[in-house]
Structure 1
């Protein structure tokens, strides 16, 4: 159907936009996080790079279900999920170790101002993507696209953690809040990694909720 084809094109376009946005966000966040010595912002940016890998799998998935409705997850998607899962687990280890090291040494960021800015923009963009993906998924009655929308919602949660931790430090100077925020990001990254491996070993789509 022409209508369905248009909707699938929109879904693919959203996947491409997600990839491009996360790439830009990752570059900006890691650079500013490094310059400002904010572990939370740096970790947030690194997570964005991992989401790029995930986005490639999502784009492939949309193309697959458009061409073959009802088909099961293929090897490309499973491989992308496993790579993404490993990357999340490596990120979690790095964030946890670095957080406790910063707490032990008493290290504090120079500034977390850019964490506030980037997280605020991310919340708006990611929430818009969630709503748009849900709308397309419901119109197509597509569980895979709706599941992707739920996973995008996790990015909103992580952005909120960055916003709160960065804001509390920038405006109130609360010690260790940047490291605590980083541990919050690690928690969600761990869940995302586990979810990736679960989906790679099955044909289910729902999750991240």
Structure 2
């Protein structure tokens, strides 16, 4: 029993770290994305802020299952999921419209150097979180924590998209690659939004489990 308590504390700590990291990443990414006129980096930062709301629901979930492993998703978590889902849909709409506009006008970022740096850091941090969450979830035999670990992989995928688009632009100056990368981010944001509403309306842990 004491071992389970220790593992749940680790799971809660990982949830809190995810929240704090996303706040910092969001602030830095949106600022640098705006300054460098990189829509992909700016959109990546906005996504990080949305993940903060999702993270609050995850942290609450860990406390709930620690007290009662067989309990069902409660109103706080469902509300957090719906708010997150709505925010993702709004983000998708904004990213798609702005991407199309940038392609139409031929807009190019000033630089995507910081997109490369931030995406590489994000890939490393998020991958460590995935591995750690899977380890803790497996030891606790907790489907919700394992599902959260799998969903964290989406952040890795989005970081890879940012790295690819930023890297290709920085190396070759491809005119539309920043906007194309942004559309890739919008695709994953749309899937995350759908998943949030599916989870809010049921007791499923995660579409990606």
Cα distance between partner residues in 2 of 1:208 and 1:188: 12
The residue that corresponds to 1:151 in the other structure is 151
Contact persistence 1:143–1:206 (CA under 8 A): no
Q: Please give the secondary structure, in 2, of the residue aligned with 1:207.
A: coil
The residue that corresponds to 1:33 in the other structure is 33
- Deviation per residue, 1:158-202 (Å, 9 max, x gap): 000000000000111111000000000000000000000000000
- Deviation per residue, 1:93-132 (Å, 9 max, x gap): 0000000000000100000000000000000000000000
Q: Please give the secondary structure, in 2, of the residue aligned with 1:144.
A: helix
Cα distance between partner residues in 2 of 1:150 and 1:86: 21
Unaligned regions of 5+ residues in structure 1, if any? none
The residue that corresponds to 1:97 in the other structure is 97
Unaligned regions of 5+ residues in structure 2, if any? none
Contact persistence 1:116–1:162 (CA under 8 A): yes
Contact persistence 1:150–1:207 (CA under 8 A): no
Q: Does 1:52 align with 2:52?
A: yes
**1:153 positional shift:** 0.3
Contact persistence 1:137–1:143 (CA under 8 A): yes
Contact persistence 1:192–1:208 (CA under 8 A): no
The residue that corresponds to 2:88 in the other structure is 88
The residue that corresponds to 2:200 in the other structure is 200
- Deviation per residue, 1:26-60 (Å, 9 max, x gap): 00000000000000000000000000000000000
TM-score, structure 2 normalization? 0.99
Q: Please give the secondary structure, in 1, of the residue aligned with 2:42.
A: helix
The residue that corresponds to 1:43 in the other structure is 43
RMSD: 0.6
TM-score, structure 1 normalization? 0.99
Cα distance between partner residues in 1 of 2:157 and 2:197: 21
Map of 1:133-144 to 2, 5 A cutoff? 133-144=133-144
Number of residue pairs the alignment of both structures matches: 209
Q: Please give the secondary structure, in 1, of the residue aligned with 2:90.
A: helix
**1:208 positional shift:** 2.9
Contact persistence 2:151–2:206 (CA under 8 A): no
Q: Please give the secondary structure, in 2, of the residue aligned with 1:178.
A: helix
Contact persistence 2:116–2:167 (CA under 8 A): yes
The residue that corresponds to 2:10 in the other structure is 10
